Amino acid sequence: MDRNDLACPEGLNELGRKAHSAIVAELERQEATHTGGCKAFYSPTEWRARGEDYGLKSVLIVVHDGGAHAAAFNWNYECYEVVEDMRKALEVVGCFVEQCTSWYSAVYKISGRYQMLRGAKEDIGKALVSLNNLMDTMCDRAAAQPDARFEHNKYNLEEVIDAIICAKDNLGKIEIPKE
């Protein structure tokens, strides 16, 4: 049976409907709309009525067992770019997805703490790039080659260190090693 049941379930709140639309649009972009014969989306109310344990406080449930769309939700498929594209599509509407089991995932509203962690991750990524540039600069200086990047990279590192300190203050979990 060739069934692509991507219908939006009844009873979703506005955020759940936005998440559904974002997911369907991304699956269409990826050409991964075949559901393997399964109904792909459930409301949390429908999910609770089925007696399921996980995802009950989500805004939307995605069943991906046997479907072409599984690679966008199940990390075991090792299609990390596909999963990342889905994460980005959901983030635009204020949601993130969490794999509950190998066959279904739940979509949740992004909280302030999640946004803070995403920002800290981006700052750490910038720090790694700056450290790499600083290492290149130091190698150039050791070889007696002048490099104007040194002061710029030093400034970038100071900005990133400030961001990490702010993240530590806000989250209380990031520790900065003492020299």
| H runs (alpha helix) in 93-146 | 112-142
Residue 14 carries which side chain, given as an amino acid letter? E
Is 2 a residue whose pLDDT tops 50?
no
Using one digit for the tens of pLDDT, what is the confidence trace for 121-164?
677 777 777 777 777 766 666 666 655 566 666 666 667 666 66
* DSSP 8-state secondary structure symbol assigned to residue 39: B
Closest CA to 120 of 157, 75, 168: 168
**Separation between Cα atoms, residue 154 and residue 91, nearest integer Å:** 32
pLDDT confidence of residue 130: 72
- The one-character DSSP state at 106 is E
pLDDT at 177 over 50: no
Per-residue pLDDT of 51-96, as tens digits, reads 998 999 999 999 998 889 999 999 988 899 999 999 999 999 999 9
- Average of per-residue pLDDT across 88-116: 87
Over the stretch 19-47, which tens digit does the pLDDT of each residue have? Answer: 999 999 999 999 999 988 889 999 999 99
Amino acid at 108: Y
* Residue position matching structure tokens 């090693």: 177
Task: Give the chain's length.
Answer: 179
